[in-house]
Amino acid sequence: MPPLPTNITRDGPSLIVIHWSDELVCRYAASELRKRCPCATCREKHTPVESTQARPLSLPVLSMAEAQPLSIEGMRPVGNYAYNIAFSDGHDSGIFTFEYLRELGQA
């Protein structure tokens, strides 16, 4: 059976600590989790634009929330296999499976 989270704590507004059933303890920064969000929108943003496609000429505009230091606003379980994480920039559609969180914690 793969390791499961047994306890999650906060270490300030931008770090969480997950204790795993095999006694491994991993620290996760909000910025790193946000950067590696597995949702479809984020995956699409990180997909390289093919050279045959025109790149947009305008620069992205950041909202006030996006310009602030990133923090984790909340986490809620999704079934018995994942957590949905809400970030201070308003993004809350990523579902982080336990397996994926474990991979990120060991990277």
Burial degree of 22 (CB within 10 A; 0-12, 13-18, 19+): exposed
Q: CB atoms < 10 A from the CB of 70, how many?
A: 20
Instruction: Report pTM.
Output: 0.79
Helix (H) or strand (E) holding 68: none
Compute the average pLDDT of residues 19-38. 96
State both tokens at 53: 């496609």
Which residue stretches of 3-63 are H helix?
30-35, 40-46
Tell me the average pLDDT of the chain: 87
- The CATH architecture annotation of domain 5-44+66-106 reads 2-Layer Sandwich (3.30)
Structure confidence by residue, pLDDT tens digits, 49-100: 555 455 666 776 766 656 678 999 999 999 999 999 999 999 999 999 999 9
